[in-house]
A = this chain, B = another copy of it.
Amino acid sequence: MSEETIILKNTFPNFSNELIQEIETNSSFQYFKAGDVIMRTGQYIKSTILILKGQLKIYREGEDGEEFLMYYLQAGQACAISLICSTKDQKSQITAKVVEDVEAVTIPLALMDKWMMNHRSWYEFVIYTYRTRFEEVLEVIDNIAFRAMDERLEFYLKRHAKACGCKEINLSHQEIALELNTSREVVSRLLKKMEQRGLVQLHRNQIELKI
């Protein structure tokens, strides 16, 4: 068994052996560096990506370059949007940017329809992915629709901590502001209030989550 097979099997444990085989023969391993933009709003989707390592940020672009965070993608996950785009040319509705260096498998669109029919484990993966992403997006809607900026910031920090698996968040106030579509000053103000309430501890270029 090749090393790549082992990585694939470990990262996607629910895939059947036949599916793993198919992936190996039909797709290519690719590497992306932090900061790379893998998919851009308006681009045609030509393939889908299975992530083996690293982290991607999926966001919605505003007209003036705002970056509204939707969710993060990590090892064992795939971009929901690109999984379902039928055969005809479909434009991407979102932008995907690499947060941590990414190792991934790229699968041509043409195969996906076939796999949906022939591989039960692929079908289940696609359905599961779509459902969970939809739910995540609904939660995002809740936040912007029903909550004020202080709560949204708290939610954002917790989500970020969860995604990276640690309590130290290495982001500048400016970067956070961009993703919440507000301004740096507002973020600073709210973070300061959170610090007074003991929820976080602020350092230069780092926010330590205390909850």
Q: Which residues of A contact B (CB under 8 A)?
A: 60, 62-63, 66, 68, 70, 80-81, 84-86, 90, 93-94, 116-117, 123-124, 127-128, 130-131, 134-135, 137-138, 140-142, 144-146, 181
- Is B134's CB under 8 angstroms from A86's CB? no
- Is B68's CB under 8 angstroms from A145's CB? yes
Instruction: Return chain B residues, CB-CB under 8 Å to A146.
Output: 62-63, 66, 68, 181
A57 to chain B, nearest CB (A): 15
How many of these chains are in the complex? 2
Q: Say which residue of B60, B62, B138, B140 sits within 8 Å of A94 (CB atoms).
A: B138
- Is B138's CB under 8 angstroms from A60's CB? yes
New contact pairs (8) apart from A93-B138, A117-B117, A146-B181, CB-CB < 8 Å: A60-B142, A66-B146, A84-B131, A90-B131, A93-B135, A94-B138, A137-B138, A144-B145
Interface of A is mostly: helix
Q: Which B residue sits closest to A140, measured CB to CB?
A: B141
A120 to chain B, nearest CB (A): 8
- Is A181's CB under 8 angstroms from B60's CB? no
Q: Which B residue sits closest to A123, measured CB to CB?
A: B116
- Is B138's CB under 8 angstroms from A141's CB? no
- Is B145's CB under 8 angstroms from A137's CB? no
The answer for the CA separation of A69 and B99 in the assembled complex, in Å, is: 33
The answer for the CA separation of A138 and B93 in the assembled complex, in Å, is: 8
A-B contact pairs, 11 of them (CB 8 A): A62-B142, A68-B141, A84-B131, A85-B131, A86-B128, A86-B131, A93-B138, A117-B117, A134-B134, A137-B141, A140-B141
The answer for the CA separation of A141 and B140 in the assembled complex, in Å, is: 8
